[in-house]
Structure 1
């Protein structure tokens, strides 16, 4: 929803803004406990003049463009991702396939680094969380018990003329009302976007509609948008379809999002199965297996990273909403009781926020969206989303839900198997309740690229670069021999490259001027470039290490390179 509807709450809950009383102290603690990677230079190093003509011995004059992100469009992000091998449209040689994307060489590394960071943070570094990798296709009764088979749907409208389909809650209509007498002279209908773009599109549509009428020069009131699930049948008969420009839309109806397939040699009702629409249910049906084999005690969690599939009506906004995606989820099992779930819920909110900042999300682009009333699932005690301000508007990035014991209860009843827990200390038997932090990998990748997008001027020359945290950067270091046709330079550079490769993903770049190579590495977010020059081999003067963000360079002896980079990249 855009900000004049439910997302108004998200925008008003930006971390420095107003929030529910019980979250003020919590938000303050977030700001003080957020971890930001340190990129300090040790006192044993010495500053070194750069090798490009534009970066003089006095040091580079860097002017950061603080407004760069405000002007960036999704087309800029998509173009960068394709050009630099981060993300491609799937099946591109066959004109693509809507809602599906492939991660290129750099994108695959970025995605792996993000997943590894999440797994380390929430699984291997904790005593109370274990891992799981469940199958993509479950027994179909799983989805009957969970409610997905009957209720996992989105509202859909059809354009009777163009045959196009739209999600009803992503189309927004407003009457065109004259300022002078409150007369409604027509309707506009625009697709969900940020507020500014929606108003801009609506104004264009209204102007075009009024052009051929006696109202051409008249002023209109501000638009009052409602999504199409909130309009009456009488109003729908006046609302133009985005496809035809005429009132040819049907009333909303439910569309089940699950992908159906068949298992086995027969293709009839007995062989029907489904691709999982979420990873959570695989955790719930393995609750007893994980509990028994890990000898865990409640409270404890089960974590999983894996693919999920949803037959989205209108996949859009690049990898933000696609039909095949990846999730990172924890189901954290706790005792029942109203006095129990709230501290755990807030704790997982805090830890999730800290993780996102630690991997490089910009805190100023993040916010909270607290679900209330109709926005809360019928079984949930609470749900709070962490939102992110993408170029197309503020949207949900991840959710932290207190789900009660709904899922385990449903699967216990559906399977006939007891999914309860006996507490040795209290001597009670109960079905555990659950806190669920759920994060989409692809959405996080997009948010990280947006957060990393930066622009500055180095000695008057414009530079675009990705300011990835070293821990998730696809390439950690680039090794650059000053000249590719000087064997003595290349051999030393190769030796260093081979040594670094044992620890990190390292790029070898020997083509073109050094300054041009720096820019190439900057654009894909490589934090450090190492140049091997004649001083390295003739004077045993070590190597030059250039910092991506500041463009400053230091000179280090060869035996200090790996310890220095380890501290900068891995933190030790």
Structure 2
């Protein structure tokens, strides 16, 4: 690569820095975006290796293993989660941009010629998924790539408006048959699939959805953080979808006496095997509500003296702070319905 020629071009065209408006350029240098390390028990015999910059290739290598053992028919997808490494020039913005990160990917194998239909389908489905988990439409946007990677025939990003601006969270790409074809070429092992519906052997085309688990976590956290004023008081809470909330409910006896803690513990015992539950009896009920708001617990269940009489409790809803009286016998079904991922899939 003619790096000195690139520098000459910058100088000849009088290109200046958009921030400082200066043209005091250094030499043009090649940055290495892959993460290298040494492998070998003896230092002088060590070889340089590169840690994987994406997780996709493990799926392609195992494509036929999965297809044959699981008896899958095209179209079908293989998903995985794993570590990936990139030598970021500047790691910044909290956990948004890191050198070591967790990547979640799906490679969806389709019949050649249908890939662009499936690309549109997955782009729409992934956008619906984020909205179903509570991300508002105005905080999401789609960015279609004008310049495509050499192996792609369509590509887009789903971007979220973080406190530091709109940034990519997920990439969706139509990778054609580039990966499987390359593995076939270099391994000399066929990566073809026989499609009984068209009575034909072919290398499937691939639609990829790829999302960073760390970025997804940060988006969910940023989106959930709410500060609002209620009756002159500042209230801060995490508005997690109940399916995502780490703690589903808090069981709170009104006082530490009169048999209320014992009754509350009975409720804990009934719910704790299926839901992550917190039991808390310290401080006033108002302070306990505020603590649960801060960790995003969707439901607070108060046990009071009326509970001992009629086996009902008060459920306080995190987002609205509204309270309702519910029979203890109905608690399990109420939590199961609200916290189930079924609520998410119903919106897709």
Pairwise same-fold verdict (TM > 0.5): yes
**1:559 matched to 2:329:** yes
* Secondary structure at the counterpart of residue 149 of structure 2: coil
* Secondary structure at the counterpart of residue 201 of structure 2: strand
Indicate conservation of the 8 Å contact 2:33/2:88, yes or no.
Answer: no
RMSD: 2.6
Counterpart Cα distance in 2 of 1:272 and 1:421: 36
Counterpart Cα distance in 2 of 1:369 and 1:276: 26
Offset from partner CA, 1:331-363 (integer Å, 9 cap, x none) = 0111212xx111111111111111111122122
Equivalent runs, 1:60-459 vs 2, <5 Å: 232-233=10-11, 247=24, 249-262=26-39, 264-267=40-43, 271-337=47-113, 340-372=114-146, 375-459=147-231
Going from structure 1 to structure 2, the CA distance change for 1:490 and 1:303 (only over 3 Å counts) comes to same
Going from structure 1 to structure 2, the CA distance change for 1:231 and 1:546 (only over 3 Å counts) comes to farther
Going from structure 1 to structure 2, the CA distance change for 1:238 and 1:432 (only over 3 Å counts) comes to closer
Indicate conservation of the 8 Å contact 1:476/1:504, yes or no.
Answer: yes
Offset from partner CA, 1:206-245 (integer Å, 9 cap, x none) = xxxxxxxxxxxxxxxxxxxxxx999814689975999xx9
Q: Residue 455 of structure 1: CA displacement?
A: 2.2
**1:516 matched to 2:273:** no
* Secondary structure at the counterpart of residue 310 of structure 2: coil
**1:544 matched to 2:321:** no
* Secondary structure at the counterpart of residue 329 of structure 1: strand
Q: Residue 267 of structure 1: CA displacement?
A: 4.2
Indicate conservation of the 8 Å contact 2:242/2:339, yes or no.
Answer: yes
Partner of 2:3: none
TM-score by length of 2: 0.89
Counterpart Cα distance in 2 of 1:472 and 1:231: 52
* Secondary structure at the counterpart of residue 131 of structure 2: helix
Offset from partner CA, 1:88-133 (integer Å, 9 cap, x none) = xxxxxxxxxxxxxxxxxxxxxxxxxxxxxxxxxxxxxxxxxxxxxx
Counterpart Cα distance in 2 of 1:304 and 1:377: 22
Offset from partner CA, 1:229-284 (integer Å, 9 cap, x none) = 99814689975999xx994744242313224241x534456654433221111101
* Secondary structure at the counterpart of residue 255 of structure 1: coil
Offset from partner CA, 1:161-219 (integer Å, 9 cap, x none) = xxxxxxxxxxxxxxxxxxxxxxxxxxxxxxxxxxxxxxxxxxxxxxxxxxxxxxxxxxx
Considering Cα pairs closer than 8 Å and 6+ residues apart, tell me whether 1 or 2 has the greater RCO.
1
Partner of 1:488: 259
Q: Higher strand proportion, which one?
A: 2
Q: Residue 465 of structure 1: CA displacement?
A: 1.0
Going from structure 1 to structure 2, the CA distance change for 1:240 and 1:439 (only over 3 Å counts) comes to closer
Counterpart Cα distance in 1 of 2:17 and 2:138: 37
**1:528 matched to 2:302:** no
Counterpart Cα distance in 1 of 2:7 and 2:207: 30
How many residues are aligned here?
A: 336
Q: Residue 424 of structure 1: CA displacement?
A: 2.2
Going from structure 1 to structure 2, the CA distance change for 1:329 and 1:237 (only over 3 Å counts) comes to closer
Q: Residue 505 of structure 1: CA displacement?
A: 1.2
TM-score by length of 1: 0.55
Structure 2 stretches of 5 or more lacking a match?
Answer: 1-5, 344-348
Offset from partner CA, 1:478-497 (integer Å, 9 cap, x none) = 1112223x261111112211
Going from structure 1 to structure 2, the CA distance change for 1:391 and 1:432 (only over 3 Å counts) comes to same
